[in-house]
Amino acid sequence: MFFFSLFFIELVILFLLSRNLSRVLSAFLYPFRRFLIGAAPFFVGTLILLGILFFAAQNHFFDNYFIVILIGYLAFEIGNTMFSSRKDMEGALELFGTIIVILITLYFLGLRLPAFNPTNLLNQPLIQEIFKRGSIFLIVPLAIDLVVIFLFRPVHKK
């Protein structure tokens, strides 16, 4: 009975202080939230591109020229629209700084992550084909963007 009353008192105190605690929690989580909002286009765009390439490679759609052109167009559109602006990425510095401090602290406390060997995943033939095809499809938007940047760059005369 005594423990129940202590629990009830703690609940009442937390309820009364919840307004102030929520502000503190909101201020603490704001850089993380800002980073996730800013980086969401990149993460979602990458997942969509990898999903399209995985689906096409798994179902052998690269033999059909119409589908190859469609995948190239999708790679161009998604590749050019998935990057965030400088304003969207303002929370990234705080987030990475916090993560680095946490990882260093955990390292000195003796907590280590188990070793992960990505070669087991990356040596699969389907995964290699996806990355090979993805690299080929993303060369086209990169080349077009470089040509546009080169043509429209400001010319400075001395």
Q: What is the pLDDT along the chain (158 residues), one digit of tens a residue?
A: 444 555 555 666 556 555 555 555 555 566 677 777 777 888 888 899 889 888 888 888 888 889 888 888 888 888 888 877 777 777 677 777 888 888 888 888 877 766 667 788 788 888 888 888 888 888 878 888 888 888 887 766 65
pTM to 2 decimal places: 0.61
Q: Does 14 map to a domain? A: no
| Angstrom distance (rounded) from CA 101 to CA 84 | 25
Count of domains for the chain: 1
Q: For residue 111, is it within any domain? A: yes
Is position 139 within any domain?
A: yes
Does 25 map to a domain?
A: no
Amino acid at residue number 8? F
For residues 11 and 127, what is the distance between their CA atoms, to the nearest angstrom?
Answer: 51
Is residue 12, in this structure, part of any structural domain at all? no
Q: Would 109 be classed as within a structural domain?
A: yes
Are 49 and 79 in contact by the 8 Å Cβ rule? The answer is yes
- By residue range, what is the domain housing residue 94? 33-151
Q: Is the residue at 15 inside a domain? A: no
